[in-house]
């Protein structure tokens, strides 16, 4: 999970402290660009194809982690 948090911080290019419970909507950098970046990250780095619809349901950092596990 720690690695994932680091990867998310880099992907979002944020200096905010992230935790599993962090609500995505509260992160300034969680925008349409991050959305696309996460889909690419899931496909390329994690080898998981996630649909945009599945990703839209994610509310927290934990939800993102569950998607790529």
Q: Quick check: 7 binds other proteins (CB under 8 A)?
A: no
Q: Quick check: 33 binds other proteins (CB under 8 A)?
A: yes
Nearer to other proteins, 30 or 67 (CB): 30
> b/e per residue, 18-44, with b = 16+ CB within 10 A?
beeebebeebebbeeebeebbbebbee
CB atoms within 10 A of CB 49: 9
Q: Quick check: 54 binds other proteins (CB under 8 A)?
A: no
Site string for other proteins, 34-53 (x = CB under 8 A): --------------------
């Amino acid at each position: 999970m720690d690695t994932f948090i680091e990867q998310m911080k880099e992907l979002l290019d944020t200096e905010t402290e992230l935790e599993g419970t962090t609500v995505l909507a509260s992160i300034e950098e969680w925008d349409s660009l991050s959305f696309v970046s996460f889909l690419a990250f899931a496909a390329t780095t994690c080898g998981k194809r996630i649909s945009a619809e599945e990703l839209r349901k994610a509310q927290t950092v934990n939800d993102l982690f569950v998607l790529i596990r």
